[in-house]
A and B are shown apart, each in its own frame.
Chain A
Amino acid sequence: MSTRPSVIRQTIVTPIILIVALLIMAALTYQFGSRAFNRTAVEMFINIMVVVGLYVFVGNSGLLSFGHISFMCLGAYMTAWLAIPPVMKSITLKGLPAWLLHTQLPMWVATPISGLFAAIFALIIGRVIMRLSGIAASIATFGLLGVVNNVYSNWDSVTGGQGSIVGIPPTMNVWIGWLGATAAIVIAYLYSISRSGLALRATRDEAVAASASGINIVRERLIAFVVSAFIIGLAGALYAHFLSIVNPGAFYLRTTFVTLSMLVVGGMYSLSGAVSGVVVMSVLIELFRNLEKGISLGGHTIALPNGAQEIAIGAITIVMLMYLPTGLSRNREFSWRGWPLQRPLARPVQTALKELN
């Protein structure tokens, strides 16, 4: 019997292509980009981490989540607690426990701890949310976003409330951004070729048949939820180092909306889609940002009104959903033999009665 090449051998090209493409972008940015452009690139890399994290859960489970940006919030604040110099913390964040007030950890240590913190939180919360199905689960994740935002906006002594906490060492650059994106891609890739990834995609496509195949849907969803929270927690940590300040407003509706749009535009069910969605949307967002600032044409300055950016993102997302619901990637991977190959477009909704036949 001819043995097939192993799963890794068949699929490893995808992450390699993605990582190398991003490396080239990082190198070009570093070499030729202005300071401002470098910052845009770092932001793009962080968004790649977030959207790849979203893909791990949304793409493999088929459940939409509005709550994942709360993991970014958790990661960013944890980094703030760990990385701000004790002198500053003892003034602004009096409510922190003494041992935390006196620690200061370098980015290399604070970042994984922040990711773990988000993952543990997801493990606890997910035990409840993952029992819900379909739309109920999505609404619950939205509730999670609201609750986390509320807590971080109001627990003044620990989070600084609505205001910003300052003083996180600004240690980010394009190389670290690239490294973060690479880590996210590698984790997402390993997850999706894992047993759990295969099982979860089976539940996404035929939940009833997956149960009949011995798959525990709640458990597989929870695993993906925790892995995605870890990745997004890391992203939050790097974001804190990037801006060097954190405030709860940065991890709320706008970010949720923009990152979900990126995932939809790229194609929800593929890793290549997640990454390319971010790259394409980042270019567009940057374009509209410049148009909002105004461009001069023969002495006149023409500027779009503020907010044009958001409207454009919204419009693009709607158009994508209408005409290309599988996204730019058509839910396929860059030469990935296996799951998403040729996925048919929208499938007829099954009636409840048909469910168990």
Chain B
Amino acid sequence: MRSDGLELVARDVSVQFEGLKALSDVTLAVPRGGITGLIGPNGAGKTTLINVLTGFQPVGAGSIELEGEPLNGIAAHKLRHKGVARTFQSGRLFRDLPVVDNLEVTGVGLGQTRRDAIAEAQRVLAWLGISSLANTIAGALPYTDERRVAIGRAIMCTPRYLLLDEPAAGMSEHESHDLAAIIRRIAGELNVGVLLIEHNIGLVLELCERIFVLDSGEIIEVGTPAEIRDSDAVRHAYMGTQRDELIPPIVAEAAVAS
């Protein structure tokens, strides 16, 4: 299942927005077939890092590598063709389209005919167990279904890497549990390298093999769930948060989406 040292890597990446250092010297690797976590307080730079890895944000310094191939300055749509897919914190579905067509757009974007793209979309929806949503207009979906459709859109034609920006935001404990199962299957069955950004830290600790902690644009800790659970630096980053609140044993808090 785990394969051969293949990775999507950000190396010494820095990004600056008019004076604000959003990322400073960040190095992060997402191995193929595994689940990697990225946590950090609001404004830490997590989304910025995903934008860098998916070609939406040019880097000030540093480099991006996809399985050894340097990718600096490559356009977002080309990166998707190379198999780096993502979801968005704010969903960004094509709101006027039925769910199946939301997925179809990716197939078409990747070069399939409309007929093949529709077939692939139906296959992916079935794989995710949400075939019943196929003909619903995306704008009318409840929040949690929206998240699942967004994941479906991203895994069309099976990418090599999938970067999830707060996929569990607003989900109940039960729903995030289902989501966890899906994420595991994506990494395990499809051999996709998953990067999971979540405020629901319970979910991250449960799913990820390796977790990066970002604070004010810097990686302040990297480690296994056990190491992260015990880290003083991590506790400091979530200033004012009691350790027990931050890392609930199992209870997943319904994080508020930004």
Whether chain B is bound by chain A comes out as yes
Question: Are B85 and A212 touching (Cβ within 8 A)?
Answer: yes
Docked complex Cα distance between A339 and B139 (Å):
12
Residues of A contacting B39 with CB < 8 Å? none
Docked complex Cα distance between A357 and B139 (Å):
18
Contact with A along B83-96 (1 / 0, CB 8 A): 00110111011111
A355 to chain B, nearest CB (A): 9
B76 at the binding interface (Cβ < 8 Å): yes
Docked complex Cα distance between A339 and B98 (Å):
8
A208 at the binding interface (Cβ < 8 Å): yes
Question: Are B96 and A198 touching (Cβ within 8 A)?
Answer: no
Question: Are B88 and A212 touching (Cβ within 8 A)?
Answer: yes
B2 to chain A, nearest CB (A): 26
A356 at the binding interface (Cβ < 8 Å): yes
Residues of B contacting A97 with CB < 8 Å? none
Residue on A with the closest CB to B156?
Answer: A213
Residues of B contacting A209 with CB < 8 Å? 88, 92-94, 153
B47 at the binding interface (Cβ < 8 Å): yes
Docked complex Cα distance between A193 and B97 (Å):
14
Question: Are B96 and A341 touching (Cβ within 8 A)?
Answer: yes
| Given A198-B105, A208-B88, A356-B56; A216-B126 close (CB under 8 Å) | no
Docked complex Cα distance between A1 and B134 (Å):
12
Contact with A along B28-59 (1 / 0, CB 8 A): 00000000000000000001000100111100
| Given A210-B105, A210-B109; A339-B96 close (CB under 8 Å) | yes
Residues of A contacting B80 with CB < 8 Å? 211-214
A171 to chain B, nearest CB (A): 39
B180 at the binding interface (Cβ < 8 Å): no
Contact with B along A105-118 (1 / 0, CB 8 A): 00000000000000
Docked complex Cα distance between A210 and B108 (Å):
11
Residue on B with the closest CB to A202?
Answer: B105
Docked complex Cα distance between A107 and B131 (Å):
53
> Which of A4, A215, A343 touches B96 (beta carbons < 8 Å)?
A343
Docked complex Cα distance between A99 and B163 (Å):
61
A199 at the binding interface (Cβ < 8 Å): yes
Contact with B along A181-217 (1 / 0, CB 8 A): 0000000000001110011001001101111111111
B118 at the binding interface (Cβ < 8 Å): yes
| Given A356-B51, A357-B90; A211-B105 close (CB under 8 Å) | no
A194 to chain B, nearest CB (A): 8
Residues of A contacting B78 with CB < 8 Å? 216
B122 at the binding interface (Cβ < 8 Å): yes
> Which of B89, B108, B115, B122 touches A357 (beta carbons < 8 Å)?
B89
A296 at the binding interface (Cβ < 8 Å): no
A250-291, CB < 8 A from B: none
B59 to chain A, nearest CB (A): 14
Residues of A contacting B55 with CB < 8 Å? 211
Docked complex Cα distance between A21 and B102 (Å):
33
A223 to chain B, nearest CB (A): 13
Residues of B contacting A202 with CB < 8 Å? 94, 105, 109
B61 at the binding interface (Cβ < 8 Å): no
B8 to chain A, nearest CB (A): 15
Residues of A contacting B89 with CB < 8 Å? 357
Residue on B with the closest CB to A1?
Answer: B122
Residue on A with the closest CB to B135?
Answer: A4
| Given A198-B114, A217-B77, A356-B47; A212-B86 close (CB under 8 Å) | yes
Docked complex Cα distance between A216 and B77 (Å):
6
B81 at the binding interface (Cβ < 8 Å): yes
Residue on A with the closest CB to B131?
Answer: A1
A214 to chain B, nearest CB (A): 3
| Given A215-B77, A356-B56; A206-B109 close (CB under 8 Å) | no
Docked complex Cα distance between A356 and B126 (Å):
29
Residue on B with the closest CB to A7?
Answer: B114
A61-114, CB < 8 A from B: none
A342 at the binding interface (Cβ < 8 Å): yes
Residue on A with the closest CB to B112?
Answer: A195
Residues of A contacting B77 with CB < 8 Å? 210-217
Docked complex Cα distance between A340 and B81 (Å):
27
Docked complex Cα distance between A214 and B79 (Å):
8
Contact with A along B212-252 (1 / 0, CB 8 A): 00000000000000000000000000000000000000000
A6 at the binding interface (Cβ < 8 Å): yes
Residues of B contacting A300 with CB < 8 Å? none
Contact with A along B122-158 (1 / 0, CB 8 A): 1000100001000001010000000000000110100
| Given A1-B126, A213-B106, A356-B51; A205-B137 close (CB under 8 Å) | no
B104 at the binding interface (Cβ < 8 Å): yes
Residue on A with the closest CB to B123?
Answer: A1
Docked complex Cα distance between A344 and B47 (Å):
28
List 4 A-B pairs, minimum CB-CB distance, nearest first. Answer: A214-B109, A214-B80, A209-B92, A215-B109
6 additional A-B pairs beyond A199-B108, A214-B109, A217-B77, beta carbons within 8 Å, are A193-B114, A198-B114, A338-B97, A338-B101, A344-B95, A354-B90
Interface residues, chain A, with chain B CB atoms under 8 Å away: 1, 4, 6-7, 193-195, 198-199, 202, 205-206, 208-217, 338-344, 354, 356-357
Task: Supply 20 A–B pairs (Cβ within 8 Å), ascending by A.
Answer: A7-B114, A193-B114, A198-B104, A198-B105, A198-B114, A199-B108, A202-B105, A209-B88, A209-B93, A212-B54, A213-B106, A214-B111, A215-B108, A216-B77, A217-B77, A339-B101, A340-B96, A342-B137, A344-B96, A356-B56
